[in-house]
Structure 1
């Protein structure tokens, strides 16, 4: 097992006649041996560029990549001992699964045939590919192709494992199954790994820690619980969570609450001076339907989803609708009148201009 460290890692793209584009702007991250870090963010935020710089597939504009405490920034990809499982599988169609797994080892000429065969057989058993070793990629399911891509990265016994959107081409059932397999394999083999994904469920379920990226920087780095329960910025709060958090522009009131549209007063977790413009965030599961207390609201729609329901509500006097989770047995019809309340301890508040948490 090996530590991985990124020090002030930067990537700037330059094209003649165009202004430079800063894809990655000074990342500082240190992974413990055997840790899996999730790089989570929307398309274009710099997460795949970061992965490619670690792998040596993209030149580094500034900063360093260290593997096991040793700088590898100037080493070519073939000398970094980094395994990459690509989003598009990148398998060789004319070759069998066995030959795909062995290709990299034989190309490097660092192992004899017997050792290559042993390592291929071992990793194929680990990831459940023994039965299809003599098949070609065209005959495999999407889930099997993804396992071949993962096995090919693992068979070289890498110091660092990089997973680039590994489940994006799988359907829902295959994604759930393969996600559990990826986690089991990474835990069993103990590889230090980075998972690049835009899928929050993937990151939350697989990663030990998550780095939420936006515009080439990390907005927040922490465990899944830290990021979900204590988002550092409005962007993080909005990006992580399904259904998405309710975000309501408001102005702080003299009594310590926040006025939304001048009509609804919501509790705040901190005391702020009156008249400050903020954005109040309440997750749907923290907005409870109550009996007599709470803010009046009208039901716009209700989706019963067996395990829970999602009610879309219009708070009296507030233009933007909000979502609230309901119990499985709750039945609501359009235009029903309800009351909802938010727990101050579970309410988030962000600066309206900067988006930074004020908690």
Structure 2
């Protein structure tokens, strides 16, 4: 197993006569041996560019990449021993699954024919491809193609494994199954791994730690629990979580509450200077319907989802709606009047100007 470290890693794309575009801006990141890190963010945030620089498929504008303590930034891709499973699978259509798996080993010429065949059989058994070794990519399902792509990256026994949106082309059922298989394989083999994804559920369920990116900068690095429970800014709070967090603008008062409208005030979990503009963040599972005390609201919509319900509520005089996760037996009618209370311990407060969390 091998450690991976990124030091002030930067990538700027330049075109003649135009200002440069900074895709990655001074990334500092360290992975422990055997760790799976989720690189999470929206399209265009720089996560795939980061992966390609680590793999040697993209030149580096500045900074360093260290694998096992040694810099690889000057080494070509074929000398880095980094396995990559691509989003589009990148399989060779004329070759069978077995030939696809063996191709890289044969191209490097480092193993005898018998050793290559043995490695193919071993990795096929590990990833569940034994019955498909004679098949060609055209006859495989999306989930099977993804397993072949993963096996081809693993067969070279890489120091670091890079997964680029590995589940994005799978349907919901395949995604769930493949996600569980992927986690099992990664833990069994212990490869230091970076998972690039825009899917927060994928990152939360698979990763030991998550780095949330925006505009080429890591916004927050932490465990899935830390990212979800203690977001450092509005972007992280809004990007991570399904259903999404409700963000309500308000003004802090002298009584330790924020005024959301003329008639609605909500308690703040931390002291905030009177008159300061804030954004109050409340996750759907941290709000409950109450019989008497609580904020007055009107039911805009209620979705019974069998295992739970999802209610969209309009607070009196507040422009943005509040989303509440309800018990499965709750039934709410359109325009019904209710009262709700937020869990103060899990209420988040952000500065309205900077977006940073107030602790």
TM-score normalised to structure 2 length: 0.99
Report 1:132-281 matches (<5 A).
132-281=132-281
1:192-236 superposed Cα distances (whole Å, 9 cap, x missing partner): 000000000100000000000000000000000001000001000
1:6-49 superposed Cα distances (whole Å, 9 cap, x missing partner): 01100000001221100000111110000000000000000000
1:240-273 superposed Cα distances (whole Å, 9 cap, x missing partner): 0011000011100110110013331111110111
1:145-200 superposed Cα distances (whole Å, 9 cap, x missing partner): 00000000000000000000000000000000000000000000000000000000
Measured in 2, the distance between the counterparts of 1:70 and 1:133 equals: 36
Q: Secondary structure at the match of 2:15?
A: coil
> Displacement of 1:113 after TM fit?
0.8
Does 2:77 match 1:87?
Answer: no
Does 2:25 match 1:25?
Answer: yes
Partner of 1:304: 304
Measured in 2, the distance between the counterparts of 1:85 and 1:278 equals: 43
1:65-119 superposed Cα distances (whole Å, 9 cap, x missing partner): 0000000000000000000000000000000000000001111111111111111
Structure 2: gaps spanning 5 or more residues? none
Q: Matched residue pairs, number? A: 359
Partner of 1:329: 329
1:277-310 superposed Cα distances (whole Å, 9 cap, x missing partner): 0100000111111010001100000000011100
Measured in 2, the distance between the counterparts of 1:233 and 1:286 equals: 18
Contact 1:267 1:343 in 2 (8 A): no
1:300-324 superposed Cα distances (whole Å, 9 cap, x missing partner): 0000001110000000111211100
The alignment yields a C-alpha RMSD, in angstroms, of 0.6
Measured in 2, the distance between the counterparts of 1:172 and 1:152 equals: 24
Contact 2:301 2:313 in 1 (8 A): yes
Partner of 1:294: 294
Does 2:63 match 1:63?
Answer: yes
Partner of 1:123: 123
Q: Secondary structure at the match of 1:110?
A: coil
Q: Secondary structure at the match of 1:63?
A: strand
Measured in 2, the distance between the counterparts of 1:46 and 1:262 equals: 42
Measured in 2, the distance between the counterparts of 1:205 and 1:39 equals: 13
Partner of 1:77: 77
* Shift >4 Å, 4+ stretches: none
Contact 2:291 2:339 in 1 (8 A): yes
Q: Secondary structure at the match of 2:174?
A: helix
Contact 2:261 2:316 in 1 (8 A): no
Contact 2:2 2:68 in 1 (8 A): yes
